[in-house]
Copies of this chain bind each other. A is one copy, B any other.
Amino acid sequence: MLKDSIWKMKVLVAESSGFCHGVENAISIADKVLTKEQDVYCLGPIIHNKDMVERLANKGLKTISSVDKIKNGTVLIRSHGAAPDQIKKIRAKGLKIVDATCILVKRVQKIAQQLEKQGYQVVIIGDKSHPEVQAVVGCVKNAVVIGDNSDLPKLPKNKRLGVVCQTTQSPEHAGRIIAEIVGYGFSEMKVVNTLCREAIKRQKSAVELCRRVDIMFVLGGHDSANTRELAQLCKKYNNSTFHLQNWNEFDIKTVFGKKVAGVTAGASTPRWIIDKFVENLKAVDTKK
């Protein structure tokens, strides 16, 4: 396929990209459980990456959205966690639980509970449809989720607010929402920093890289919150930013005439996806 005189791109990979400790831990737990147990279920995709979900499905992991129809076996709690009432339901059915919740996500749940006990109205800055946020909401009696400015009217006026963030949000976004809350009105606001430092490191490293390249690729699941946050950030600093799940989504037309490409990946993107993408990209002929 390759011609003798092809134009090859320089491909730079972000210093910090790919699996974070939480994801690595969840995958390693899943791999171990699958070698030991039969009938292993995961409550929702273990991580937001179809390639990895597929790999584990081939090893026997069954992804389910509810335990209602499960009679026996082991239920894996994915990295995003689960709400206490879900856990209770699993226990009530006598199913075995293996908890692969990321420790940082677990921390957000605990902090939200503490803030509520201290009399604060719990506020979660995050995406209300994301399982991590839903699990935190499920841990307290009454939480308000603020995704963007349009959610502000849900806040009670001039109250004591206890604020946590979905771990994968950027400090930039969290700061913007907190500033909006200040303008909206509050009496006291206790913000506990629940942002994941690994995610911030990836964001900084991606922003740095995408400023130096002609085109930027952000690899990861389209439903992965941290990958989407990465892609949104990169788009701000480099308009030629593409969020792709893997090499299959690559469109050669996007790189015609480009000389330097940057590659980064979300915390739930397996190394093999990144390596394959970089290898293929290096071999591409960018001549129109």
Across the interface, A183 reaches (CB within 8 A) one of B175, B180, B189, namely B175
| Chain B residue contacts of A183, Cβ below 8 A | 171-172, 175
Tell me which of A179, A183, A190, A192 has the highest count of chain B C-beta atoms within 10 A of its own C-beta: A179
Bound Cα distance from A175 to B177, whole angstroms: 9
Q: A251 to nearest B CB, angstroms? A: 34
Residue pair B193, A191 in contact (C-beta under 8 Å): no
Residue pair A175, B178 in contact (C-beta under 8 Å): yes
Tell me which of A171, A182, A187, A192 has the highest count of chain B C-beta atoms within 10 A of its own C-beta: A182
Bound Cα distance from A186 to B200, whole angstroms: 13
| Chain B residue contacts of A188, Cβ below 8 A | 190-193
| Chain B residue contacts of A192, Cβ below 8 A | 187-188
Q: Which residue of B lies closest to A161 (CB)?
A: B191
Query: A47 at interface (Cβ–Cβ under 8 A)?
Result: no
Q: A147 to nearest B CB, angstroms? A: 17
Query: A176 at interface (Cβ–Cβ under 8 A)?
Result: yes
Q: Which residue of B lies closest to A182 (CB)?
A: B175
Query: A174 at interface (Cβ–Cβ under 8 A)?
Result: yes
| Chain B residue contacts of A182, Cβ below 8 A | 171, 174-175, 178, 191, 193
| Chain B residue contacts of A189, Cβ below 8 A | 189-191, 193
Q: A188 to nearest B CB, angstroms? A: 5
For window 69-108 of A, CB contacts with B under 8 Å fall at: none
| Chain B residue contacts of A172, Cβ below 8 A | 183
Q: Which residue of B lies closest to A111 (CB)?
A: B188
Q: A10 to nearest B CB, angstroms? A: 31
26 pairs of residues in contact across A and B, judged by CB atoms under 8 Å: A171-B182, A171-B185, A172-B183, A175-B178, A175-B179, A175-B181, A175-B182, A175-B183, A176-B179, A178-B178, A178-B179, A178-B182, A179-B179, A182-B191, A185-B193, A186-B191, A187-B192, A188-B190, A188-B191, A188-B192, A188-B193, A189-B189, A189-B191, A189-B193, A190-B191, A191-B191
- Chain A contact residues, CB within 8 Å of chain B: 158, 171-172, 174-176, 178-183, 185-193
